[in-house]
Structure 1
Amino acid sequence: MMIMFICQLLKSRWKQGGKRLLGIDKIPVVRDGERTHMCDEGLYIKNNSNRERMEEIIRAHKLESLGVLAGGIAHDFNNLMAIVMGYIYLALIDLSPEHASRQLLLGAISSIEQTKDLTSRLITFSQGGAPHRKISNIPEIIQKAVSHALKSADIGVDFDFTDDIWSAEVDEYQIRQCFHNITTNAVEAMPEGGKLTISTVNTLLNDDQGLDLKEGAYLKITFADEGIGIPEESLGKVFDPYFTTKEMGSHKGVGLGLAVCYSVLRKHDGYITVESQQGEGTTFILYLPARMDL
């Protein structure tokens, strides 16, 4: 509750005076003119403008708290669904193949199987704070994740991978889930079909490039679709948990896919950004720390 109070307080002060976060201080003080407020998070702000950095810290707190909650819910939910599935199979044993209830029970099993996708995303979301990294071939992970996500979609894909691409030290399961989620997002944005273009390049970043990343070597991975685009007013919210512009349905409306990507990338010391215009498609740009020495 204290964190949320601090975030709301700082947001309200932005609107009044356009202030800037300078950093985290060991002395927990927030100054506002002549007034002084004690603040457990130690956020020190001055009259300037750098809202993006403050939004990053707010989002990080939100994701960390939700991650702990999501992990516990996912595991408990899986355990309960396993019990339900067991009882359904026991009921099926006593039913003849022609029994009217048999198809209904099989339909229930199919629905339970679909919940595994949701709990898988929740678990990935919660585990984003502890990636088990190993040296990996990123283009290979991309191809596998994208192929799986597009297996029943009328979407073309164009891979454009730079030769001699650097390796990266990642949690392969988490990163694959991230690529899968972005591809699924592209599929849903192109209901009439289209093309997804995926590229990877080696890049060296420095502090002058305006990204919240350390200087060094990175893989720049781009997913560009030809979909309906994202409204401008929604661009700043697409990585928030449970935010979605999609209709509710059996596979849509959950709003966790891009939040999972954001969480996973940040815990890998990477970053993700989005560019979009309605009617002209959406481009997600991912940065992963790379190993030039391998």
Structure 2
Amino acid sequence: MADKWEPIFIMNLKQTAVRMLLGIARHAGLEVDACEHAETEIALRESEEAYKTAFDNSGDAINILDEDWKILDVNKRLLQLSGYSKKELIEAKAVILFPSVGRAASQQRRKRLIEGKLQLFETILVTKTGQRIPVEVQPASLKNWRGRGRVIQANIRDITDRKRSEEVMLTIQKLESLGVLAGGIAHDFNNILTAILGNLSLAKEDATASPGLRALIVESQEACVCAKGLTHQLLTFARGGKPVIHVLSLAQILEEVCIFAARGSTSKCVFSIDEKLLPVMADKDQLSQVLQNLILNASQAMPEGGIIRVSASMATLDEREITSLPSGRYVRVSVKDEGVGIAESRLLKIFDPYFSTKAKGRGLGLAMCHSIIAKHGGYLGVDSLMGVGTTFWFLLPAATSLDLSPKTEIASIKMGSGRILVMDDDPMIAKVLSRLLKRLGYESEIVVDGKEALEACQKAAAAGNPFDVVIMDLTIPGGMGGKETVRKLKALIPDAKVVVSSGYSIDPVMQEHVNHGFSGVLPKPYRVVDVSKALSAILNPHPHSTGKDG
């Protein structure tokens, strides 16, 4: 250590002595040319030392090139970034680090640099191991570097993190655009389904329909309900949304969803479901999404095929087992594959958005699954062993006795009477809803937007024949929609009863309709029984039931 610092100490001592002698000579009025020359040399040496210190300790990688792009010097950061030794780089051409920059481009950049026109640019630095690193290069022209003529100093900054952030932002923007597109598709698709499902429910109630025809109608209705579930899944993926919670038996959906998700792959699902499995409080569509993603991951982990073991059992947790969950009874579902497994270093990031173990993966599937399970008050975990396989598992709170009561009411058509105002800009929907209302015993009037609805309600109230209920479409393109209209209507008629209807099933207004001034909610698509239930819950005129579901 003494050897390292001794030359620096001696040099500093000499510099101090020269400056003292120079001061004495000037004070005495003596010739000081020699001393001034020595002082100049000291200043130059100090400047060189300061430059070398800054050069070696810069956070940016730096190399010095001659006008033929031959490397004359490099700093420590460049050696760290490139993986080369100083001996390997000195006297080599810059192409060793930037092979993508062709000869013509190099000559053009050199010319622009000499002219003082070359600015900051981005390129790719290739390391000794072949790794490609995005970098930002700030070139500058230096004169008389170490006695040479003009040289080029290139400051090189690793911009990997910035590029990754830009990619993430671009992905987010694409997802936001997808959300707008998905919302429009879901809205229009649900409007079409509403016309189909509404007319099917009316056809089913036709007394002249034969049993065979009724069976076909029921199958068609079930297909429409499945299509509705697909639009809900699309909205959940693209826009998020709170789960619409119902008592749900996992035993009933596990086999159906998992077998469907594995269809088309070379893998086979094998099930082990506890006969005493309790129901959970969950959104069926969102939970189906989770299961589909986990089955898809398991299938992709076994490209040559294999067994996917799906199990469901009861579990009792205390507060120490999983700190994010309260103690209690849970339903545990696991999906186990026989793939190559996931490295331990990657398991910590497996649920991070945009992290993927697949070459073409976007890293969104598991992040979405984690979000959905968390919103249900549960926990999603993973266990993996290299060469053996991976198990994804999740816990959901088991339904309590309070959740299970009262018993689910059997859907039935309840007749009624009264005047209903329908606000919908889609003639097809308005016509179907008018038919359904007539079937239920109601009179109806149709308007296309909020302005017409307010005028119709005021006119009816002034005539002493007000509407009993107003059914409003939430979104009216180019016009006043349900959210704004209900606020203005309540200001005019405080006791007005309003039902909000929309194909945006996960819209916050649909999920928290009471907070927005609505008395009830009617999601699209709907059947005659759904309209009956929404109206009878508000009017409650004690109508008689037909005893049929619609």
Q: Which category describes the TM-score, using the shorter chain as reference length?
A: 0.5 to 0.7
Pick one of 287, 312, 335 that aligns with 1:175. 287
Q: Distance between the aligned counterparts of 1:259 and 1:122, measured in 2?
A: 16
Secondary structure at the counterpart of residue 308 of structure 2: strand
Counterpart of 1:214 in structure 2: which amino acid? P
- For structure 2, the residue ranges without an aligned partner over 5 or more in a row are 1-168, 187-230, 405-550
1:256 aligned residue: 364
1:206 Cα deviation after fit:
1.1
Q: Distance between the aligned counterparts of 2:232 and 2:248, measured in 1?
A: 22
1:165 aligned residue: 277
Pick one of 338, 341, 349 that aligns with 1:229. 341
| 1:276 maps onto 2:384 in alignment | yes
2:397 aligned residue: 289
The alignment's TM-score, normalised by the length of structure 2, stands at 0.32
1:80–1:171 distance in 2 versus 1, CA, 3 Å: closer
1:69–1:178 distance in 2 versus 1, CA, 3 Å: farther
1:200 aligned residue: 312
Counterpart of 1:135 in structure 2: which amino acid? V
After alignment, is 131-140 or 181-190 more displaced?
A: 131-140
Counterpart of 2:247 in structure 1: which amino acid? I
Q: Distance between the aligned counterparts of 2:239 and 2:185, measured in 1?
A: 21
1:185 aligned residue: 297
1:136 Cα deviation after fit:
0.8
- For structure 1, the residue ranges without an aligned partner over 5 or more in a row are 1-64, 83-118
1:128–1:267 contact (8 Å) kept in structure 2: no
2:308–2:337 contact (8 Å) kept in structure 1: yes
1:19 aligned residue: none
Kindly provide the CA deviation profile for residues 32-85 of structure 1, in whole angstroms up to 9, marking residues without a partner as x: xxxxxxxxxxxxxxxxxxxxxxxxxxxxxxxxx9xx978743232447999xxx
Q: Distance between the aligned counterparts of 2:181 and 2:284, measured in 1?
A: 25
The alignment's TM-score, normalised by the length of structure 1, stands at 0.58
Q: Distance between the aligned counterparts of 1:161 and 1:73, measured in 2?
A: 40
Secondary structure at the counterpart of residue 292 of structure 2: helix
Secondary structure at the counterpart of residue 230 of structure 1: coil
Q: Distance between the aligned counterparts of 1:224 and 1:191, measured in 2?
A: 15
1:134 Cα deviation after fit:
0.4
Structure scoring higher RCO (CA < 8 A, sep ≥ 6) equals 1
1:93 aligned residue: none
What is the root-mean-square deviation in Å for CA atoms of aligned residues? 2.9
Secondary structure at the counterpart of residue 353 of structure 2: coil
1:74 aligned residue: 178
Counterpart of 1:158 in structure 2: which amino acid? V
| 1:267 maps onto 2:375 in alignment | yes
Same amino acid, percent of matched pairs = 35
1:225–1:281 contact (8 Å) kept in structure 2: yes
1:191–1:160 distance in 2 versus 1, CA, 3 Å: same
Q: Distance between the aligned counterparts of 1:223 and 1:254, measured in 2?
A: 21
1:139 Cα deviation after fit:
2.1
Q: Distance between the aligned counterparts of 1:257 and 1:214, measured in 2?
A: 26
Kindly provide the CA deviation profile for residues 88-146 of structure 1, in whole angstroms up to 9, marking residues without a partner as x: xxxxxxxxxxxxxxxxxxxxxxxxxxxxxxx9877324665511010111122221221
Secondary structure at the counterpart of residue 348 of structure 2: helix
How many equivalent pairs are there?
Answer: 190
Q: Distance between the aligned counterparts of 2:397 and 2:183, measured in 1?
A: 36
Counterpart of 2:388 in structure 1: which amino acid? E
Q: Distance between the aligned counterparts of 1:79 and 1:137, measured in 2?
A: 29
1:218 aligned residue: 330
